[in-house]
Structure 1
Amino acid sequence: MYFDGSVMGLDARAGVVLISQGGNRLRYVICLHFNASNNIAEYKALINGLRIAIELGAMRLYVRGDLELVVDQVMKESSCKTPLMAAYCQEVRKLEGKLRGIELHHIPRRDNNATDSLAKLAAKRDLPPDGVFVNNLHEPSVHIRVNLT
C-alpha cells in the first residue's frame, strides 16, 4: 500500500494505492471536507488505506509513505509532539491490531508519484477516471477535548 496526503490552500486531500500480490491495483482519492494540516492529511490517507485493506480481507501489509514524520511516529522512532498527533497515531495502532503483520517504510517523494497524482486529482474536484474510487470524509477520525480552566 502507498499513501500520500497534501494540503494546498484550503483543500486537504489524499491518495491511496493498494497493490495485491498478483499486481492488481486499487486507487483511491480521499477528499477531506474539514480543516486539516499536511500531517493530518497524511494520517487520514494511512488510516483510510488501512481500513480499506482490512475490509478487503488483507492480513499483511507492506506500507510506504513519503512523510517521514508520520512513518517515524507510527514505527515508534519519533514521539508525537501534540495530543492530536498522538490520537491519530493511536488510531493507526488500533487498525494494526486487526492485521497479522504490517511494515511501514518511508520512501522518497519521487517514489510516491502514483498517490501524489491521486491527491492532486482530488483537489481538482473533477470526475475521477475509471477505476479510481472516491472517499469523501466530512469529519476528522479523532477529536481532542481541550480543558479551559
Structure 2
Amino acid sequence: MTAIKGQALADFVLEFPPHQEVEQGALVVIPSVEEVVMENQNSAPWWSLFVDGASNGDGAEAGIELISPESHKIRRATHLAFHATNTDVEYEALINDLKLTLEMKVENLNVFSDSMIVVYQINRGYQAKGPRTELYLKCVQRIIARFNEVRLELIPHRKNEGADELAKLVSRREATLLGVVPLDIQR
C-alpha cells in the first residue's frame, strides 16, 4: 500500500510542480517526453530509453523499451532471481540497459524513468544513502561517462507504459504473452 501511495505522490508532483520558473515575465514551458523525442530525432542521432522495475515477494522484474532515432523499438524484460528493493531493481534495469546501448554503439541517449529517487540521485538532487545505493549510483555514473551525452528525465508512471507492461508480464509469469521479447534471468 505504501508503494502505491508513494507512486501517486510522485505522479502528483510531476503533474503539479511545486514551483514554476519565470523568465523575464514569461512562463518557461518544459517540453513533454514526446516533444523531446521528436526534437532529438531532428538533430544528432539520439536514442530514447524507457526503463521500469518492480519488486514483489516472488523476486524483481524490469522492463525496457529502447527507441532508435528512426522510431524502431527494442523491448526487453528481466527477472532478478534475488531479493531487491524497488530502488535496487530500477538501478539494475538502468545499468543493464545502459550497457546494452553502449554495446549497440549509441552515443546520445535520453533516459526516461518514473523512479523519482533514482532520477534525482543520478541528477544530483538527492543524496544516495546506504552503501548498496552508493555502489549503484557510482556504477551508473561510470557507465554514463562513456556516452557522448545522456539526459535522464523523470516521467509520470502513465508515460512509462511500455517498460511497465513488460515488467508486469514477467511478474505474472506470462511468458507466452511476452512473445518475441527477450526475457533475461539475472542471478
TM-score (norm 2): 0.71
Alpha-carbon shift at residue 130 of structure 1 (Å): 3.4
The answer for unaligned runs of 5 or more in structure 2 is: 1-48
For the pair shown, the structure with the greater C-alpha radius of gyration is 2
- Paired residues in the alignment total 138
The alpha carbon displacement at 1:128 in A equals: 5.2
Q: 2-side partners of 1:26 and 1:128: how far apart?
A: 16
Structure 1 residue corresponding to 2:88, chosen from 40, 46, 50: 40
The percentage of aligned residue pairs carrying the same residue is: 32
Does residue 1:100 correspond to 2:144, yes or no? no
Which residue among 167, 170, 183 is the counterpart of 1:119?
167
Of residues 124-133 and 7-16 in structure 1, the stretch that sits farther from structure 2 once superposed is 124-133
Aligned to 2:70, the other structure's residue is in SS state: coil
**The 10-residue stretch of structure 1 (7-16 or 107-116) with the greater mean CA deviation from structure 2:** 7-16
- Structure 1 unaligned segments of length 5 or more: list them: 139-149
Distance in 1 (alpha carbons) for counterparts of 2:184 and 2:110:
22
SS at match of 2:110: strand
Contact 2:76-2:166 within 8 A present in 1 as well: yes
Please report the RMSD computed on the Cα atoms of aligned residues, expressed in angstroms: 1.1
Runs of 4+ displaced beyond 3 Å: 127-131
1:55 equivalent in structure 2:
103
Q: State the distance in 2 between where 1:44 and 1:127 align.
A: 24
The equivalences for 1:1-149 within 5 A come to 1-125=49-173, 126-127=175-176, 129-138=178-187
Deviation at 1:58, TM superposition (A): 0.5
Relative to total residues, which structure has the larger helix share, 1 or 2? 2
Distance 1:48 1:127 in 2: 23
- State which drifts further: 14-23 or 115-124: 115-124
